[in-house]
Amino acid sequence: MYRYHNEEKVTALPNDQIFVFGSNLAGNHYRGAAKTALENFGAMQGVGRGWSGQSFAIPTKNEHDQAMPLHQIQHYIDDFKIYTRNHAKLTYFVTGVGCGSTGFHLQDIAPLFKGISENVILPSRFKQFLEQ
């Protein structure tokens, strides 16, 4: 069973919730959800992957700010799935990873999250692609 949020922009979450956003491997967080993570959730410049502060970066672009192939993004999402299982006391608030400036479509990204832990809250737009 998946959980969803209404996708309103957030600037604060409870301490036990982690803001999950799409990033580039260089860790340049200058727009979209990455900028929100930097400004509000402790993401650090130069950290383009994994946990930082109250945030978790999933790379969707390489260090040159170019979109990665979906199979590479799948690898990082699979790592995130493992992380959420190993840190089950936390809740993860996932943004539209890869669907903003990276330019992927929902139908490309959402299915990559199939099988995610119940402690993950996904964007409501993902629902139609996860519960078919």
Give whole-number Cα distances, 36 to 30, 32, 96, in Å: 9, 7, 13
* Of 41, 61, 57, 39, the residue nearest 49 (C-alpha): 57
* Of 40, 39, 37, the residue nearest 58 (C-alpha): 37
Kindly report the number of other CB atoms within 10 A of residue 75's CB atom. Answer: 14
Which tens digits make up the pLDDT trace of 56-77?
999 999 999 999 999 999 999 9
Q: CATH number for the domain including 97?
A: 3.40.220.10
How confident is the prediction along the chain (132 residues), in pLDDT tens digits per residue?
899 999 888 999 999 999 999 999 999 999 999 999 999 999 999 999 999 999 999 999 999 999 999 999 999 999 999 999 999 999 999 999 998 888 899 999 999 999 999 999 999 999 999 987
Which amino acid makes up residue 26?
Answer: A
pLDDT recorded at residue 75: 97
Q: In what helix (H) or strand (E) does residue 123 lie, and over which residues does it extend?
A: strand 120-123
pLDDT recorded at residue 82: 97
pLDDT recorded at residue 102: 86
Domain with 101, as residue range(s), is: 3-130
Look up the pTM and report it.
0.95
pLDDT recorded at residue 101: 85
* Of 101, 84, 131, 130, the residue nearest 23 (C-alpha): 101
pLDDT recorded at residue 1: 83
Q: Structurally, how many domains does the chain consist of?
A: 1
